[in-house]
Amino acid sequence: MSSHVFQTRFGTMPQSDGTTRFSLWAPSCETVALEVEDAPPLAMQRDAEGVFTCVTSCPTGARYRYRVRPDLAVPDPASRDQPEGVHGPSVVTDGSRYAWRSEGWLGRPWCEAVIYELHAGVLGGFEGIANRLDELLALGITAIEIMPINSFGGSRNWGYDGVLPYAPSCAYGDPDSLRALIDTAHEKGMMVLLDVVYNHFGPDGNFLPVYAEAFFDSENNSSWGTGIAFSNPQVADFFIDNVLYWLMEFRFDGVRIDAASAIKDHAWFGKLLERTRAVVEPGRHVHLILENENNDAGLLRDGFTAQWNDDGHNVLHVLLTGESEGYYGMFSENPTRILARVLQEGFAYQGEINPYSGRKRGMPSGDLPASKFVLFLQNHDQTGNRAFGERLITLADPGALHAAYALLLLSPMIPMLFMGEEWGCRSPFLFFCDFHDALADAVREGRRKEFATFEAFKNPEKRATIPDPNALSTFDASRPDREERNAIDGRIWLERTHTLLALRKRFLMPRLSGAHSLGASVIGDRSVLARWKLDDGAILSIALNLSDKDTCRISEPPMLLYSSAARRTVEELPPGSLVAGLE
């Protein structure tokens, strides 16, 4: 058994002599005092850059705040634990006290990833997730990805309104229960990935503007809030240390950086790669994943592991549902051709004008291996940002959805499922939070206003039926219904998932490293044929028909892996079907 501690520049750090070091960047302040419970205030020393430090005897578990104004004491922005929420005191922690059992764990190669995105709150916190690991492992899931766990205002939130990025939310458990979850997953051979949010802070509990105005860059504001000054070395280090803190002290296997396109200082990404390579132990598999609206293939070439392939999701959604409002309009003109490009080259937009924004989007990506792209049919955004949080299974033809699901799990891209998808969950996943008073009103009305341009919600009375994000019932409705899992349809979907992932593990995973496209072509209405050369020279072919009519004849692959529908002849590709095989 062993322990792990990462020395960060900010927050608290137990010292070898039994004291604790406190460090706060507060350039807007001339004086700051440390206030530890049951102890007199202690003046902190300020350096030329506005970093305040002090070292004092302070036991693990002690609660503390920083007095930044005579009338205001604030939690530590690098707090490790906030048991009383984001407005309460911070707690001194010592990560070395947790004895890890999975000490020999070095992670798994990226080509073995089958990701399961989940929300900690709706699954019962860190302990609740741990209780689900065995069933996920039995299905063939090799990695869980947890939506943001940073501390946020209230007791319910998606996690993208966080304000204390180092402190796991007390709504899900304490820091050691998070360590125990990761430890248990590693013992079972499963990776754990974390979604992190660095492009903005939430609206409740963010005190940084009071004492660190230089943390922000108002010229880079976004719809989420005030821009972050990543070009400032203190700010850059704050977030790079946060990544390394999760990777080294909590032993996460990787992070997914939310809305990377909103981080305007491109150099920050290079600094993150450089420090990660310098700090992470040799031989350990660590994965840095991006969500990036810009489709910046250059970051993937530079060393980032992969990017969420929103283009792939969006065009498949259009083909499956016929929807074309909002950003789906970008993919509604000749979507079959767009799907072929996604399967062949990764991104759909590679420098073309985005009709949604009027700006060029993306760069060429055809040289990248398929594993650089994370493909999905559903995720928290694409489901929860619908007015009523409908799952895809309630919107699409069953046969076509089965075929698209098989494409997801058998293509060389890295597949990601959203919690409950493995059993065809019909429970909605809604946008929820726990704000109060004027902020709650603003969020509720802002949420409904977002849909005012959609045809179905032009009537104010219809918009009024959109669930209130702050209502407890909205959160409760977002829990996946476990009874569906045990119903007949649920068991059929589970068996389907198990079969497809078993095929992926046996026939594809050992061959996926470096797999690249041999081309994809349109073979009919909503029908494509795609081929990839695998690592050992074998060729994977997938023929997909998402239409309601037979498509052109196809050649039967020498080794049939999967057929999603009965066929009258081996050359037939019936409506809503997929045929996958090896050559």
In tens, the pLDDT along 19-60 reads 999 999 999 999 999 999 999 999 999 999 999 999 999 999
Residue range(s) of every CATH 3.20.20.80 domain in the chain: 111-503
Instruction: Report the alpha-carbon distance of residue 561 to residue 567 in Å, rounded.
Output: 14
CATH superfamily of 111-503: Glycosidases (3.20.20.80)
For residue 572, what pLDDT is reported?
82
> Which pLDDT score, from 0 to 100, does residue 1 have?
44
pLDDT attached to residue 220: 78
Query: For the chain, how many residues are written?
Result: 583
The amino acid at 417: L
DSSP single-letter state for residue 103: T
The amino acid at residue 354 is: N
Residue 51: closest CA among 24, 32, 31: 24
Structure tokens belonging to residue 161: 């309104």
Q: What is the pLDDT of residue 2?
A: 54
User: Where exactly does CATH 2.60.40.1180 map onto the chain?
Assistant: 513-582
Q: In this predicted structure, what is the pLDDT of residue 468? A: 97
Q: Which fold has domain 11-97?
A: Immunoglobulin-like (2.60.40)
Residue 356 is predicted with a pLDDT of 78
Give the mean pLDDT of the chain. 96
- Which pLDDT does position 218 carry in this prediction? 82
Annotated catalytic residues are 258, 291
Residue 392: what pLDDT?
98
pLDDT of residue 266: 94
Q: What residues in the chain have per-residue pLDDT under 50? A: 1
User: Residue 64: its pLDDT value, please?
Assistant: 98
SS3 call for 340? helix
CATH superfamily of the 513-582 domain? Golgi alpha-mannosidase II (2.60.40.1180)
CA angle 312, 313, 314 (to 5 degrees): 95
The helix/strand count (H/E) of the chain reads as 16, 26
Q: Residue 491: its pLDDT value, please?
A: 98
Q: Specify the domain boundaries for CATH 2.60.40.10 within the chain.
A: 11-97
